[in-house]
Amino acid sequence: MKRTPSPRLRFGIGLALALALGIGLDVFLLMGARRADARVRAEREAIVTLNALTGAVERAGISGDEVRRAVAAWAKSHPSLAAVRVVVFEGISLEASTEPKDSGDRAAPRRLTREEKDLYDRGQRLRAAVETNRQEGAARKEEIEVSEIDRGALGLAGPLEKDGEVVGLVEIRTSGPPPPLRVPVSTSILFLVAPLAIYAAAAQLVGERRGPLAVTASLLLAAALFLFARQTLRILEADRVATERAVAERVVQEARVGASTLPAGAAPLVPSKWDTDVFRKPRPGAPGTPPGGAERRGRNVFFGVAIGAFALLAFFGFGLAARLGSTLARHRVAYLYIVPAMLAMIVLVFFPFLYGVAISFTQQTIYNTGQPLSHLWVGVQNYSHILADFSIAKRAPDGSLAFNYLNFYWTLAFTILWTVSNVAIGVTVGLLLALILNTAGLALRPIYRVLLILPWAMPNYITALIWKGMFHRQFGVVNQVIQIFGGQPVSWFDKPFTSFLTALATNGWLSFPFMMVISLGALQSIPNEIYEAARVEGASRWQQFRAITLPSLKPSLIPAIIISVVWTFNMFNIIFLVTQGEPGGSTEILITQAYKFAFERYRYGYAAAYSVIIFLILLAYGTVQNRATRATEGI
């Protein structure tokens, strides 16, 4: 058994790891943010160019040699532009192109070829977007399409307009990616090594006292992380300023080029309208004002990272890591055996469960799945809507009760009725048949037994679909039998009660064999001598049953009942496939109702809350049952 390392060493290791985590994450996030900023800058510059070029092409008359001359001049003066293409809808023509492949006999102007159909389609998409936005008076569809062609090079397409009508498009392709960003290696190493050196020196003075060591390490960590974060924010701010300057420079440059290509007598270009977003609306915020939201988000991120780093420091410093390590090492064989199963369970069961619980506090629907959960947070609103809604029934004008089948309490009551009646039927029928089959000397016993078990063996979704077919209003055999006896055919799925009966019949059919087999097994294990002794005492049949049979059945029957309550409560397939909740959702059980909220009404948040409530009900049942039977004792 290894001894726990000394406090000095522990806090040293803790500090080193916390610094590595904190600084490492900060650098990682910084590089991510800078890369995103660089991308935004490239996009903004390209949009300025596109808008300016579009203006120039429009003023050159949309089509003709003027346009080609302007485009050529533009391409020559822009090393950052790899290619420009101008397409006009009328005549489906490629008016101008500086693409290398569009030379020789493919040079513009010419008709677009079949392979270039997507170019034409893109133009029509832009036209549709412009028209939609104009009709709605909103910026909903993108009027400039931006796509990343390969590593950093951007392709942009914007609409060409004439008299307020989209008549074509201008497409540009930027050359090459922006220069790669430098990772601040030396700064990071400095921030990593300096605190450790100071700690080492301080630790010599402090000695092996835990308190002062903890304070020293914490102060050093806090100082290092704070200074590094400030440095990082400064870099980001510098990036932002540089972006604004670069965009402003680009506008000036384009204005100069544009003026030189402008034909005589054309209206002047409007450079102030070139720095737009993809909806061709001016960017929000006048240049120069810092975007507060981004800054705040940045601070929050650094705060989160710092909390993680401090947790790590404490974890190591106070010896928890050492203790955990020695526990893991001592029981490593056991943990090795469990890790594969546990890992699978964590990734595909426990994590999805927690994620689902998180969704239950949001108003997520199919339409906003792209947004982060924090934007859709509504607290316990879903829960209160489900649990505080008591409008189960209201009185119709003619005095009859009209039930609200979507109400939680209706579904809960129905689920309980469903569970209790099914389990009662299963136990009664199963026990009765078991008692008969247990009669000594009964002929054909094995054959009866095999045939009676069949429903258990059948896949239950098939059973459900079969019974659904047999209860068909017009062709189902159940109605044929009723008509043989002179009755009227029943529309089984039109009334809640008859609909319930169909599901009950189906589930009863498939669930009694389980109870029968369990009971039969228990009955066969009762020694015959006990009955004989009872008969000698003069006990009647009923007395024997009460005093011998039932008590002997209890140990196997009670667990079977407990498990079948849970099965029936969650018997998704039967309700989902047989009654389908008809009529009007009256015969839904909780689990199918939750499914419908999620996948037919697409209210993910609400459905998740519904499911969490189901889980809590089952958990409560499980706990009570566990208390009552003490089943998990001594595991």
Query: Given the complex with another protein, which of 32 and 469 has the nearer CB atom?
Result: 469
Alpha-carbon distance of 17 to 190, in angstroms, equals: 15
93 contacts 110 by C-beta, under 8 angstroms = yes
How many CB atoms sit inside 10 A of residue 292's CB?
9
Establish if 566 lies at the interface with another protein (CB under 8 A). yes
Which CA distances in Å does 52 have to 171, 245, 361? 12, 18, 47
Burial class of 427 by CB neighbour count within 10 A (0 to 12, 13 to 18, 19+): buried
Work out whether 521 is an interface residue with another protein (CB under 8 A).
Answer: yes
Nearer to another protein, 232 or 507 (CB): 507
Which positions from 108 through 147 interact with another protein, judged by CB under 8 A? none
Binding mask 257-296 for another protein (x = CB under 8 A): ----------------------------------------
Q: Does 545 bind another protein (CB under 8 A)?
A: no
Give the residue with the Cβ less far from another protein, 91 or 551.
Answer: 551
Work out whether 574 is an interface residue with another protein (CB under 8 A): no
Judged by CB under 8 A, how many residues of this single chain contact another protein? Answer: 106
CA distance 323 to 120: 67
User: Which residue among 563, 600, 601, 628 contacts another protein (CB under 8 A)?
Assistant: 563
Instruction: Decide if residue 518 touches another protein (CB under 8 A).
Output: yes
Q: Which phi and psi (to 5°) does residue 163 adopt?
A: 55, 45
DSSP letters along 405-426, please?
A: TTSHHHHHHHHHHHHHHHHHHH
Give rounded-to-5 percent helix, strand, coil for the chain. Answer: 65, 10, 25
Which amino acid, residue 360?
S
- Is 483 a binding residue for another protein by CB under 8 A? The answer is yes
CB of 611 to another protein, least distance (A): 4
User: Would you say 573 and 461 are in contact if contact means Cβ atoms under 8 Å apart?
Assistant: yes
Candidates 193, 481, 550, 628; binder of another protein (CB under 8 A) is: 481
Q: How far is the CB of 469 from another protein (least distance, A)?
A: 5
What is d(CA 490, CA 121) in angstroms, rounded to the nearest whole number? 56
Closer to another protein by Cβ: residue 67 or 562: 562
Q: Which of 189, 193, 348, 402 binds another protein (CB under 8 A)?
A: 348
Pairwise CA distance, residues 504 & 494, whole Å:
16
Stretch of residues binding another protein (CB under 8 A), selected from 46-54, 311-319, 392-400, 625-633? 625-633
Please give the backbone phi and psi of residue 558, each rounded to the nearest 5 degrees, phi first.
-65, -45
Residue 572 binding another protein, by CB under 8 A = yes
CB of 485 to another protein, least distance (A): 10
Contact 261, 56 (CB under 8 A): yes
| Residue 1 binding another protein, by CB under 8 A | no
Residue 509 C-beta: closest distance to another protein, Å: 7
303 binds another protein (CB under 8 A): no
Site string for another protein, 498-517 (x = CB under 8 A): -----------x-------x
Judge whether 69 and 56 are in contact, CB under 8 Å: no
Binding test (CB under 8 A) with another protein, winner from 345, 387, 420, 547:
345
Single residue of 389, 555, 627, 628 touching another protein by CB under 8 A: 555
185 near another protein, rule: CB under 8 A? no
The verdict on 359 binding another protein (CB under 8 A) reads: yes
Query: Which one of 150, 163, 398, 633 is in contact with another protein (CB under 8 A)?
Result: 633
- Taking the least distance from each CB to another protein, the nearer of 188 and 360 is 360
Q: Which is nearer to another protein, 310 or 418 (CB)?
A: 418
Residue 399 CB, shortest distance to another protein, in Å, is 38
Residue 110: how many other CB atoms lie within 10 Å = 15
Show the binding pattern over residues 318-337: x = contacts another protein (CB under 8 A), - = does not. ---------x---x-xxx-x
Q: Does 351 bind another protein (CB under 8 A)?
A: yes
The residue among 398 and 529 lying less far from another protein, judged by its C-beta, is 529
CA dihedral 233, 234, 235, 237 (to 10 degrees): 90
Choice from 149, 533, 619, 624 touching another protein (CB under 8 A):
619
Interface with another protein, residue 607, by CB under 8 A: yes
| C-alpha–C-alpha distance, residues 60 and 70, integer Å | 7
Q: Compute and round to an integer the Cα radius of gyration of the chain.
A: 38
Residues in region 417-476 near another protein by CB under 8 A: 429, 432-433, 436-437, 439-444, 448, 450-463, 465-470, 472, 475-476
How far is Cα 166 from Cα 169, in angstroms, rounded to an integer? 8
> Crossing angle, helix 210-261 and helix 7-59, to 10 degrees?
10
Alpha helices in 137-178 (DSSP H): none
In the complex, what is the shortest distance from the CB of residue 525 to another protein, in angstroms, rounded to a whole number?
10
Judged by CB under 8 A, the residue of 264, 349, 396, 401 near another protein is 349
Binding residues among 199-238 for another protein as defined by CB under 8 A? none
Strand partners, 553: none
Question: What residue type is 493 in one-letter code?
Answer: F
User: For residues 178 and 356, which CB has a smaller minimum distance to another protein in the complex?
Assistant: 356
Q: Which of 181, 201, 270, 344 touches another protein by CB under 8 A?
A: 344
Regarding 632 and contact with another protein (CB under 8 A), the answer is yes
* Nearest-approach distance from CB 513 to another protein, in angstroms: 8
Separation of alpha carbons 226 and 420, rounded Å: 62
Question: End-to-end distance of the chain based on CA atoms, in angstroms?
Answer: 28
Angle at 490 between CA 486 and CA 491, to 5 degrees: 160
Burial of 609 (0-12, 13-18, 19+ CB in 10 A): buried
Check binding of 347 to another protein (CB under 8 A).
Answer: yes
Element (H, E) at 402: strand 401-403
Cα 87 from Cα 93, distance rounded (Å): 6
Q: What is the smallest separation between the CB atom of 341 and another protein, expressed in angstroms?
A: 4
Structure token digits, residue 371: 């947004």
> What number of H helices and E strands is found in the chain?
21, 8
User: Which position among 114, 484, 497, 538 is part of the footprint of another protein (CB under 8 A)?
Assistant: 484
Among 340, 372, 399, 446, binds another protein (CB under 8 A): 340
Give every CB contact of residue 310 below 8 A, 6+ residues apart in sequence: 18, 218, 221
CB of 490 to another protein, least distance (A): 15
